[in-house]
Amino acid sequence: MKMSGGVEWGLHCCVVLSGAGAPVTAAKLAELHDVSQSYLAKQLQLLSRAGLVRSTLGQSGGYVLTRAANEITVLDVVEAIDGVEPAFRCTEVRQRGPMAVPAERCDTPCPIARTMDSADRVWRESLRRVTIADLIADVNRTTPPEILAGAREWLRA
Amino acid sequence: MKMSGGVEWGLHCCVVLSGAGAPVTAAKLAELHDVSQSYLAKQLQLLSRAGLVRSTLGQSGGYVLTRAANEITVLDVVEAIDGVEPAFRCTEVRQRGPMAVPAERCDTPCPIARTMDSADRVWRESLRRVTIADLIADVNRTTPPEILAGAREWLRA
DNA sequence: CTTGACTCGGACAACTGTTGTCCGAATAGA
DNA sequence: TCTATTCGGACAACAGTTGTCCGAGTCAAG
Ligand code: SF4
Ligand code: SF4
């Protein structure tokens, strides 16, 4: 039960991209976060496949958000990088073994699968309620302004 | 983002153990579910470490639940087998790189970590609300009685 | 009491999924 | 036209999970 570590990087990148109006290259983002440049590229690829960011090739290229910050939820980023399939996968144990339940009686999902599905649903719903804009607002409130300005200047260079 | 598949087996075992008053061996449980006998033993070991079941050695030994079925939650089983640490682990990216935030300004947790923690909390809370007794009640309501009686008889033999 | 067979417990490999890396295709600008 | 720069997907290294095994300890029977 471990979420992909790239989710954290993806969220940070979305926050940074929202702040900078110009395209930002993967190399810049990697240096800013001090993480592997190649691996971050893979995560950005996933975001691009999901349609959250749009990549511009060639000189002065980079990544830009496709939508406004308040239209991108944390769940979008999580599902783009970590996948959409739920953590719990039923293997239909009750249809195996000597006391197997016949398949025609398995029309209704069992209580275990329903419980897990419900928990997964509230988890996703909780993540869907927070948008990138909310994160940005909180970051702006809690981090010193001089650091924010410095980061924006460093990105432009 | 994948939960350990043993969680499903552990829950099934708890349901079965609650139905049978006498100790049940790991071999019986494995044959009933048609799963690897040795691997199920490992999951039962985890349950034993967590204090959910008590093992009796020697002849006519096996596993028994330590508490009543309505005092064991699904979350207990999940945490016993899959671990208690949350899926999201913050690597403190903001304290690295050229635009690092000084450590003394990192006293309050960042919004990303708070969002993930909140989602994990509601997920666990949802699992805590369901007990093994609830699962048993649902199973008794949805499965044909003859199969239940047959399984109980097969366990006794 | 002795014996005996049966039980769980932890230590030991094999496999899938994640992490990390690389170079080629495509593009914008000069 | 040409070049420097960018992303994109294909290629290894690592870790965690899955699966297996045999020995220490124990209860019941004789
Ligand atoms: S009884 Fe439920 S948890 Fe078990 S195999 Fe069937 S659907 Fe999955
Ligand atoms: S800003 Fe939040 S998510 Fe990012 S490293 Fe710090 S605590 Fe973790």
pLDDT digits (tens, 9 = 90+) for A97-131: 776 767 666 667 789 999 999 999 999 999 999 99
- Residue A95 to chain B, least CA–CA distance (Å): 9
Which one of B119, B135, B138 has the shortest CB-CB distance to A123?
A: B119
What mean pLDDT value characterizes chain A? 91
Q: Is B150 on the interface with A (CB under 8 A)?
A: yes
Is A86 a residue whose pLDDT tops 90? Answer: yes
On whether the CB atoms of residues A152 and A20 are closer than 8 A, the answer is: yes
pLDDT of residue B91: 87
Task: Give domain limits for chain A.
Answer: 5-84+131-156
Cα separation, B82 vs B89, in Å, equals 15
Average pLDDT value for residue range A33-39: 93
The DSSP symbol for B73 reads: B
Lowest pLDDT segment from A30-44, A47-61, B5-19, B141-155: B141-155
Regarding the domain delimited by B5-84+131-156, which CATH topology (the fold level of the hierarchy) does it fall under? Arc Repressor Mutant, subunit A (1.10.10)
Q: Is B128 on the interface with A (CB under 8 A)?
A: no
Average pLDDT value for residue range B6-31: 94
Residues in chain B closer than 8 A to A108 (CB atoms): 142
Q: Which residues of A26-62 are buried (b: 16+ CB within 10 A; e: fewer)?
A: bebbbbbbebeeeebeebbebbeebebbeeeeeeeeb
The enclosing H or E element of B120 equals helix B111-128
CB spacing of B135 vs A5 below 8 angstroms? no
What DSSP line would sit under A93-145, residue for residue?
GGGSSTTPPPGGG--SPPHHHHHHHHHHHHHHHHHHT-BHHHHHHHHHHHS-H
Is A93 a residue whose pLDDT tops 70? Answer: yes
pLDDT of residue A92: 80
pLDDT of residue B100: 72
pLDDT of residue A105: 62
What DSSP line would sit under A37-59, residue for residue?
HHHHHHHHHHHHHTTSEEEE-ST
Confidence band, pLDDT 50/70/90 cuts, at residue B109: confident
On whether the CB atoms of residues A22 and A156 are closer than 8 A, the answer is: yes
Is B104 a residue whose pLDDT tops 80? Answer: no
Which one of B7, B8, B97 has the shortest CB-CB distance to A33?
A: B97
Is B27 a residue whose pLDDT tops 70? Answer: yes
Cα separation, A13 vs A142, in Å, equals 18
The DSSP symbol for B22 reads: S
Which one of B12, B74, B94 has the shortest CB-CB distance to A115?
A: B74
Q: What is the pTM of this model?
A: 0.92
Residue A6, Ramachandran bin (φ over 0: left; ψ between -120 and 50: alpha; else beta): alpha
| Ligand 2 neighbour B33 (Cβ under 6 A) | no
Q: Which atom of ligand 1 is nearest to the CA of B11?
A: 3
Q: Is A157 on the interface with B (CB under 8 A)?
A: no
Q: Is B141 on the interface with A (CB under 8 A)?
A: no
What mean pLDDT value characterizes chain B? 91
Is B70 a residue whose pLDDT tops 80? Answer: yes
Q: Which atom of ligand 1 is nearest to the CA of B139?
A: 1
